[in-house]
Structures are given as structure tokens and as C-alpha cells.
Amino acid sequence: MTGLYIGLMSGTSMDGVDAVLVDFTSPQPKLIASHSEPMPEHLFKGLQRLCQPGTDEINRQGRLDRTVGQLFAKAVNALLTKSGVSPLQVSAIGSHGQTVRHMPSLDTGFTLQIGDPNTIAVETGIDVIADFRRKDVALGGQGAPLVPAFHQEVFASEDKVRVILNIGGIANITYLPGDRSRVLGFDTGPGNTLIDYWIQQHRQLAFDEDGEWAASGQTDPELLQQMLSHAYFAQNFPKSTGRELFNQAWLEHQLAQYSHLKDEDIQSTLLDLTCHSIANDVLKLASSGELYACGGGALNSELMRRLSTLLPEYKITCTAEIGVDPKWVEAIAFAWLAMRFEQGLPANLPAVTGASRQAVLGARYPAA
């Protein structure tokens, strides 16, 4: 067994698969190589459709499960080619999968990720560790977020209050007060999902680069307060959310009385929804400290500027300052989760997810 692991991540934004090759032989994970495999348009549309209740779901899910698995395998093989590393040198692949339903708060809660790990294992020749979330749900937890355990391991500092903010499609925070027993983490609400959707619909762009379009608009205070009044934002943690709640239908309902607003004003308001919901939750945890951002939203300079205004007592920067490229943090976390499985070590934090106990997460899918 080597210290090399591959992590695969495709988040709520569904814009592609992030693949990383990581060396865990030292206390600080070392990123050896990285690769992003774009999501083909037809697959993106198929996944979006599957995320909404509809007809013929089982057949569509079965086909997409295999297709997403093939895309993940393609990302791994491109990563191996780029790095010059043989499949035999890699201990295992940690695959998050693509979430298509996340409903842990039902009477019988569940979370569902697709991207057949058997397909990944066969097409790469590497054992796959996958299905990380459902053990936590079986133990009464939310199954999310799982990255706070990794954040604690890599980013915690005994003498400092730190918040790790991951801004993907959904935003989540990890609170690291320097005391392991008090680590907290949860989803704050929308990250990029609504601002991406709005610019895709109105300007046919994949995302709002540097928040330039949002910066050209004026936030509508009434619309912002209406959206912030949603019960999720007042809910106590543990909590997690996704496209099941913050989606096109929810947004259209919110905008029903605001058709007079300019498109760029709505974009600005949606960006403020992300920023205010994050800042409100951060301030509930501590009035000052250090905040390190990662995920795609960390590269949005207008988002980061507005967040700095809302959190004046925080030092705000990205995780590169403490040793990990912000673009790859989540993918590295799933490589780490695969390593924890291999070592028989627990990987969830019950204070974060609400599970009844710690547990080893995931299942092995052998290549042989």
C-alpha cells in the first residue's frame, strides 16, 4: 500500500469533475497532480432533470449512474496520464459521486449519489471507495457536510479561531475554535447555485466571472429580506441542504412580485443572499477570527469583497494561505476519506452531522 490516493468530486454546480492525486505520507497532504474534466452539456441537462421529480426516473437514473461513472473514470485516467503515475501505484480512489437527491430530514431520511463505482474501478484498474454519506444517515445524521473532519485535521490551529468556508453550489462552513471537541459545521444555504442559474438563463454564460455582472446591479433590499426569511436560514444546526430546496422553482416563486427589477439587480441580490446567509451564520459562531475560503466562490472577487464588508472583524482570505489550493480542497478531502476507510478510521463528526456516533464511512469496490 502506498500513500497515494485519488479524490473525485462533482458538486451541486455540476460543472465538471475535479480529480486530484494526493500523497498522504506526510502530516500535510501533498497535491501531486490535478485535473478538471468538464461536464458534457447533454449529461448536465440529464442530471438537472433527474434532480427534479419526474417520470421514468429509475431508467434515467440507471443510465446516468453508468454515464457519470464513465466520466469519473475518464477524469482519473487523464489525471494519471498527466502525472505519469501508474494505477498500481495508487492505493484507492475516493469518489464522492454526483448527488441527485439529498433529503436527510424526512421521517426516513436519505441521500443519493450516483456515478457507479464499479464502472470507475473497472475502467481505471484502481479500487474505489465510495458511498461515504449513507452510513452517517443510517446513524441518524445528515450525511453532510463531511469535509469538516478533513478541515479539522489539516487547518485547525490550537491558538486561533478559524472558519473554513467552502463555496460550491451550496455554501458550508466549518468552525475550528482550536478545541477539537467543539468543531462545528453545516450548510449555510446557496453558494453559487442561484447566481450561476440566473446568469446562465439571461446571459448564456456558465458563471459570473469575478461577480462583474452582480457588481453592475443594485441589490433590492425587500427581495433580499424576503429570501432571507426562509425557515432554513433560522434553523439550528446540524443542517444541510441542496438543489431540492434552493432551485429554479424556489427562485421563480421568490421573484413573482419583482418582475420590474433589472436582471443585473436580481443577480446582485442573489449574490447578497449568498453573502448575508454566510455572514449571519459565521457571526453566530464567533464575532471575530480568521476565515479561509475555498471552492469556486473563493475565486469570485465581488463575493469576497461583500463578505469582507459584512465581517469586518475577520481576516478573510483563501485556503492557499494555509497550504491548500482553494480549487482542490473538496477533492483532496475525498482522497482523505478514502485513506481513512483504508485505515479503518472514523471520518464523520457527530457534532456536525447529527449522527449518533463516529463511524468508518464508505464501501470498497475492487478493480479485480
Residue set of the binding site for ATP: 11-18
Count of residues in the chain: 368
**CA pair distance 79, 83, nearest whole angstrom:** 6
Widest Cα–Cα separation across the chain: 61
Positive or negative CA dihedral for 255, 258, 260, 265? negative
Q: How far is 23 from 202, CA to CA, in rounded Å? A: 42
Q: What is the C-alpha separation between 333 and 29, in angstroms, rounded?
A: 10
DSSP reduced 3-state for 354? coil
Residue pointed to by grid coordinates 436580481: 266
DSSP designation for 131: -
The residues with which 112 forms a beta bridge, in sequence order, are 101
Binding residues: 11-18
Q: To 5 degrees, how large is the angle CA 173–CA 236–CA 147?
A: 25
